Amino acid sequence: MPFHKLAAVPVLVWLGVALATRLPRAGATPTPHSSQCKTKCGRVDIPYPFGIVDSPDDGHCAMHDGFALTCNKTGINGRRRRPFAGDVEVVHISLQRGKARMKATISSYCYNLTSRVMDTDPWSVDLKGTPYKFAGTNKFTVIGCQSLVYIVGEHGDDAQDQYMSGCVAMCWRGGNGDVRSALRNGSCSGIGCCQTAIPKGLQYYQVLFEPGVNTTEIHNVSRCSYAVLMDSSDFTFSTTYVTSRAFINNYGGQAPFVVDWSIGNETCDAARKKHVSYACVSDNSECFNSQNGPGYICNCSKGFHGNPYLQHLERGCKDIDECKHPQRYRCSNGGVCRNRLGGYDCPCKSRWKGVAKAGTCIDHFPLAAKLAVGAIGGILLMSIISFLIILHKEKKKMKEFYKNNGGPLLEEATGIKIFKKGELKPFLKNSNIIGKGGFGKVYKGLLDNKEVAIKKPINGSVRENKQFANEVIIQSQVIHKNIVRLIGCCLEVEAPLLVYEFISQGSLHDILHNHNNKVALNLEARLNIAAQSADGLAYMHSKANIRILHGDVKPANILLDDNFVPKISDFGISRLLARDKEHTGSVIGDMNYMDPVYQREGLLTEKSDVYSFGVVILELISSRRAIHSENNSLLKSFLEYDKKKEKMTELFDKEIAITKDLELLDSLACMALKCLSLDVEQRPTMMEIAEQLLILSRSRKV
């Protein structure tokens, strides 16, 4: 199931082009399943009829070649494993629904600033000869300001059964003459974003950009157009997708799409007659015709669960013991649950009558018993009333906190999830603490099956009402791959809790300076961390609607994910911290990285972040701590060598200070010293730093 990178060709010419590589056709007869087969690759479950086939010995793991997957090493140093069908990554498989979730490369059509022409990078996905067909939840999605893009595809193996459609995404200038003012978040109706549905049974598609429509005239606003067939339920349009690379960055260059998979190309009635190839082999299983072209899928009968494609007693369809799951299968108010094959019974107790499954069993018992129950009930009632009074007071206090923390304003905002106190409280334990600081504590939690970081500020350290709410809204709109994403907040406490995405590898500070840490960063990794961190800061400094500063740039606030991609955290924390009531304009931040001008005048600017980033570069190339001291300063050491016009080789980390890289390290040191100039006007902008680091990073890879 290969991706094809395509050259730019006229749309009509394509109709005569033959297809390239395809996967082997799916066999007709199921392969017996081996109990030794792997059932998981990374975090993805691999249920039969799918199977991991990494070697000839794994031949019995998949029903046939069409369901064969490989478990490949990915990421830096091959630290993670992911399943692939051909060269297409599989991220989820649904056995019951007959669906799978995969990733497709996003096609692009961009204006080249150097050649001043459009560069096209189209792709195709070929599912022909496999059990997969593109699901109806996918939509052909086009992003851009002047974009006409075609989707050309085929149904099944008949090359004559072709499909062609297109989508137009245009922009017009608003009342102020700016194209961006006409764009609207969430709206994909042709203005900056277009989506169109696909027919059933589609197994191949490719993307073709119309060369007569391009962005050469508005490249300063919208340089690129993008197109991909993707799962529409996973897509929300953002105006930044048109004006920046946010669309590509958010999805890592590959968007998710959904396929329907099925067994063979016959109906259930025809398949049952062929006992050798019939796939629904488990007892208590049923066959269902595919809703997307020929073929069928199997499911366990009602009252059973398991894998309908396996005969094995423990892995096939087993009876559900409903009595072990009273929340899901009701049997209450005097009912006695009794499990049976394929269901359960729930008769009322002896001398009781009614319908126990509906919770209506009732009993008539003697007056004395009723009086005793009444007395007990009275005591319970008093207890309940007392509890309700306490609960009412607690709820009243929570409502006051909610209002004081800007809850009414945040309710009107989109993209911000407001959590209840009860949702986060189970995670606020000492055993879950993953970080502490002047701002408060950070806890690790699990929400919606995703790991998150929950920041609990020190009481009184967060500003109230609209100011806090507005700053949360601003942080939620920050969409960049190198900035930790704010998921939501909890306002029912005195100091609001902030919920962020969890970053697995910890901080750059720990990796550079923790002697127990076995992770070694080579020069290329450090250069990438510097370049991408600078790109994230430059993005914040250059946002169109509002300028956002960091105020506390340091390695401890640069987190690294599994692939050592940096993500800047605590963005805007300085804006969220309450100002000292007695000393307005008080300086907040780490003295080891603080701009002396900001420290002296109390005015935070973009150049304050530039100064702090200069210290970060020095730490990256030296692996030495930045300590604010007259006698022991990392900056002082570099300045002394620079003043004497001596080479700084002795200051570089010996792990990376090899002869061929000394010139590059000198360039990084000089860049850092420019950032650390006491003359604010002489410091470069964050955008200039990001561009220079990108050039150095690319020269390193050449």
**pLDDT tier at 361, thresholds 50, 70, 90:** confident
User: pLDDT for 71-112, tens place per residue?
Assistant: 999 877 778 899 999 889 999 999 999 999 999 999 999 999
Backbone torsions φ then ψ of 414, nearest 5 degrees: -105, 150
**pLDDT tier at 18, thresholds 50, 70, 90:** very low
* Residues of the chain by 3-state class (helix, strand, coil), percent to 5: 30, 25, 45
Residue 363 has pLDDT above 70, yes or no: no
Is CATH 2.10.25 the right assignment for the domain spanning 268-319?
yes
Give the strand pairing for 80-85 and 202-209.
unpaired
Lowest mean pLDDT across 55-59, 105-109, 605-609: 55-59
CATH class name, domain 407-501: alpha beta
DSSP string covering 232-283, please?
GGG----THHHHSSHHHHHTTTEEEEEEEE-BSSS-HHHHHT-TTT----ST
User: pLDDT for 425-461, tens place per residue?
Assistant: 999 999 999 888 767 889 999 998 999 999 988 765 5
What is the average pLDDT score of the chain? 84
Structure tokens at 174: 């608003």
Backbone torsions φ then ψ of 195, nearest 5 degrees: -135, 145
DSSP at 468: H
The residues that bridge with 417 in the sheet, in sequence order, are: 488
Residue 260 has pLDDT above 80, yes or no: yes
What does R_g of the chain's alpha carbons equal in angstroms?
Answer: 31
What's the rounded mean pLDDT across residues 299-314?
A: 89
Tell me the Ramachandran region of residue 340: left when phi exceeds 0, alpha when psi lies from -120 to 50, beta otherwise. Answer: beta
- Predicted confidence at residue 586, as pLDDT, reads 62
What's the rounded mean pLDDT across residues 393-402?
A: 87
User: pLDDT for 102-160, tens place per residue?
Assistant: 999 999 999 999 999 999 998 899 999 899 999 999 999 999 988 999 999 987 666 56
Selected catalytic residue, list 126, 552, 595, 661:
552
- Higher per-residue confidence, 405 vs 690: 690
- Predicted confidence at residue 698, as pLDDT, reads 86
- Predicted confidence at residue 378, as pLDDT, reads 86
- The reply to whether 320-370 and 508-701 are identical in fold is no
Half-sphere exposure of 695 (CA within 13 A, CB side): 9
The residues that bridge with 566 in the sheet, in sequence order, are: 560
> What fold characterizes domain 320-370?
Laminin (2.10.25)
Give the separation between CA 47 and CA 61, rounded to whole angstroms. Answer: 10
Instruction: State pTM to two decimals.
Output: 0.50
Indicate if 54 belongs to the active site: no
- Predicted confidence at residue 646, as pLDDT, reads 76
Lowest mean pLDDT across 220-229, 580-589, 620-629: 580-589
Give the separation between CA 227 and CA 247, rounded to whole angstroms. Answer: 10
Residue pointed to by tokens 């090493």: 73
- When mean pLDDT is compared over 206-220, 371-385, 427-441, 499-513, the highest value belongs to 499-513
Percent of the chain with pLDDT over 90: 45
Lowest mean pLDDT across 181-195, 557-571, 621-635: 621-635
- Predicted confidence at residue 198, as pLDDT, reads 94
Residue 581 has pLDDT above 70, yes or no: no
Residue 25 has pLDDT above 50, yes or no: no
- Predicted confidence at residue 32, as pLDDT, reads 59
Q: What is the 3-state secondary structure (H, E, C) of 134-203?
A: ECCCEEEEEECCEEEEEEEEEECCCCCCEEEEEEEEECCCCCCCCHHHHCCCCCCCCECEEEEECCCCEE
Residue 694 parent element (H or E): helix 686-701
Give the strand pairing for 99-105 and 254-261.
antiparallel
What's the rounded mean pLDDT across residues 663-689?
A: 94
Backbone torsions φ then ψ of 71, nearest 5 degrees: -105, 100
What's the rounded mean pLDDT across residues 357-361?
A: 72
456 is in an annotated binding site: yes
- Taking the domains of the chain in order of start, what are their residue ranges? 3-19+101-261, 40-85, 268-319, 320-370, 407-501, 508-701
> What fold characterizes domain 508-701?
Transferase(Phosphotransferase); domain 1 (1.10.510)
User: pLDDT for 219-238, tens place per residue?
Assistant: 888 899 999 999 998 799 99
Percent of the chain with pLDDT over 70: 86
Residue 26 has pLDDT above 50, yes or no: no
Closest CA to 239 of 151, 167, 174: 174
